[in-house]
Structure 1
C-alpha cells in the first residue's frame, strides 16, 4: 500500500506541533515524503473529529492534553507515546470578591464547582478541575472531604463545539463559561480555571484568585491535563513508517529551536493558536514560554505522565490500568540520533 495521507490533530494551546504547523514545517517535511496532512479537529464530520479524543484513526498523530490519549490507551487503543512537552500555564482556584474566601483554608465547608459533560468521550475537563482542586488543597493540608463538590452540568458534548448559532461564527466557545455562570448564579463558591481561556473567563466575571499554582516549584502540584502534553501516534504509523515519525519529531524540534530565538513572534503564534490575545498568553504562560516548547522523552517527563495516569485511574477516569513505560516508543529518537530520517 502506498501511503499518501496522514491525519493529525492538536489542541488549541501552546504546542510545538501547532507552531510547526503555522511555520509550514509540518507541511514541508511531509510533502517531501509525498504525504498530505489532513486535520482531524477541523473536519466537518463529527465522527472524524471524535478521533481527536479517542485516537481511533489509523495513520494519525496527536499533540495536546494528555487525558484523552491516556484514556484511549487504557481502553486498549494501540498507540505509541513518542514525545512529551511541558509548557507551564496559569492554574488557579478562583471565587467572587463577595464570597469571603481569601485562602485555601477558607474553602472548607464551601461548594466547589466541577464540570460534568455528557457521556461519549472521557470528561477531560472534569478530570482537570479535580486535579486542580486536589493540588490546591494539598498546599494547605485541607482534606478533600472538607469541600462540597457540586456538579456543573454541561449539556452539549465537546464534539459539537464547532457547530451552532451560539458560536457567532467563532471556532470555539469560551472556555469555563458554564463554571463561571454557575459561580455568578451563586450555585458554587469557587471553580478551577487554567490557561488563556481560564484567565479570560475569570477576568470577564471579575473573579479573584484564591490560590494560583501553575508555576509552583513542585512539579507534582503543576501536573494536570496540560502539564505536560503528549505526542502520540497510532501503532500502524509507528511500526510501518517509523521514518515518518522521525520526520515529525525532527520538524517539531526545528519549530522549538526557532521559538527560542523569536520570543515575540512565538507569543503571537500561540495567541493565534489559542484564540487569545498576546497579553493573555503572556499572563497565562509567562515571558519565557518561547523556551518551553521543546519535545523529549526524558525520564522526569515520563514520570509526570505516569503520575497523572495514576491519578486518572484512582479517580475512575480510565477503563483499565497500563504501564506508561511500555507505552513509550524510543525508536524514532534512536533513528534520529542515527541520522536515518529519510
Structure 2
C-alpha cells in the first residue's frame, strides 16, 4: 500500500455523533484536502470486513485516524496501542437518568435503594456503553451527595458485541441499531427502576415512552459532571501516520478547523448535517444538543480539554475499564499544531 512516508490511502472513522470530522466528510472538505495530495480516504466503520471495522474500537490499522467517543481510544492506549492524541472537541449533549412515571422516583434522592440498570456486553471490545451509564450514574448521584453504594446496580446482559450491532436483518436496512432498547425493555418489564440515556437516541427513546426525567445534567455548569464518553471526544491517529507524515496530520487538523469555522455561521446547515450523521430529525438534534451546536464543534488541545480527558481516564481506571493507567501528556502529540503555526507564518 505504501513505502515509508509515501502514503496512497488513509483509513478514517468517526462515531455517529456531532463531530467536525463527520461534518467535514459531508461537506467534501476532507476528501478534497487529501485528494490534492494523491491520497484516498477509506471509511473504517463502513467497511464490510469485520476485522477492519474493529479498528474503530481498537485503532489497530496503520495510517488511520479516529474521531469520536473517548472510551475506546483511551482503552486502546492503556493496552499499549501505538496512537497519538492530536485534538479534542467538546459538544455538550442531553444526559439524563430516566424512570417510568409510576415508579415513585421523582428526584435523585429517590434513587436510594432502588435498582439502576446497566447494559453489559460480552468480553472483548471495551464496554463503553456500560462505562458511560456508570459515569452518568456517578455524576447524577454526586449532585445530591450520594454514591453508587446507595443504589442497587442491576446488570442487563446483552448477547451481542457492538460489531454485531452493524450486521443482520434486525437492522431493517439501517446503519445502526437504536440505542437503549435493552435498557428500556428492562425498565418496562419492571426489572430495573431507572436507567441512563444520552444524546439524540436517549432523548428519542425517553420521548417515545413518555418517561419521567429524574435528573438532567448534560448542560450542567460543572464540566466534571458533564464529562463522559462523548464529552469530550478525541481525535487520534496511529503512530506510523504521526511519525512518518506529521504534515498530513496537520492537514487533517487544518481541514477540521476550517470546518469548525464554517459551522460558526451556518447553524441551520449544521443541524441538518448532524441530523443526517446521527440518524435523527433536526428537531431531535436541536433538543439533544441545544441551539448553539454550531458554536461547539471546535477542536484544540487546551488545558481544560486535556484535564477533562485525564479526569475520565482516571474514572475508567478506577472502575476497572482499563488495563492500566497512563499519563495523558505522554499521549498527546502537539507537533502538527506547531507545523500549522509555521505554515501560517510562511
Which TM class, normalised by the smaller chain length? over 0.9
Match of residue 103 from structure 2:
99
Match of residue 305 from structure 1:
309
Deviations 1:186-231 (A, max 9, x none): 0000000000010111111221100000000000000000000000
Structure 1: segments with no counterpart, 5+ residues: none
Q: How many residues align?
A: 342
Q: Is the 8 A contact 1:62 1:231 kept in 2?
A: yes
> Is 1:10 the equivalent of 2:14?
yes
Deviations 1:99-156 (A, max 9, x none): 0100000000100001101111000000000000000000001132110000011111
Q: Is the 8 A contact 1:111 1:189 kept in 2?
A: yes
Any idea what SS the aligned residue of 1:238 has? helix
Structure 1 CA distance for aligned equivalents of residues 12 and 95 of structure 2: 27
Match of residue 339 from structure 1:
343
Alpha-carbon deviation of 1:340? Answer: 7.1
Change (3 A) 1:16 1:80: same
Any idea what SS the aligned residue of 1:84 has? strand
Select the residue among 120, 123, 128 that pairs with 2:127. Answer: 123
> Is 1:223 the equivalent of 2:204?
no
Match of residue 56 from structure 2:
52
Select the residue among 272, 278, 295 that pairs with 2:276. Answer: 272
Q: Is the 8 A contact 1:79 1:233 kept in 2?
A: yes
Select the residue among 113, 117, 120 that pairs with 2:117. Answer: 113
Q: Is the 8 A contact 1:112 1:147 kept in 2?
A: yes
> Is 1:31 the equivalent of 2:32?
no
Match of residue 151 from structure 1:
155
Alpha-carbon deviation of 1:53? Answer: 0.2
Match of residue 263 from structure 2:
259
Match of residue 186 from structure 1:
190
Structure 2 CA distance for aligned equivalents of residues 341 and 108 of structure 1: 58
Select the residue among 244, 249, 252 that pairs with 1:245. Answer: 249
Q: Is the 8 A contact 1:246 1:341 kept in 2?
A: no
RMSD: 1.1
Deviates more, 1:233-242 or 1:163-172: 163-172
Match of residue 218 from structure 2:
214
Alpha-carbon deviation of 1:341? Answer: 11
Match of residue 166 from structure 1:
170
Match of residue 90 from structure 1:
94
Change (3 A) 1:54 1:7: same
Match of residue 84 from structure 2:
80
Q: Is the 8 A contact 1:247 1:341 kept in 2?
A: no
Structure 2: segments with no counterpart, 5+ residues: none
Deviations 1:5-51 (A, max 9, x none): 10000000000000000000000000011100000000011111000
> Is 1:70 the equivalent of 2:74?
yes
Structure 2 CA distance for aligned equivalents of residues 119 and 254 of structure 1: 40
Deviations 1:280-299 (A, max 9, x none): 10000000000000000000
TM-score (norm 1): 0.99
Structure 1 CA distance for aligned equivalents of residues 239 and 174 of structure 2: 34
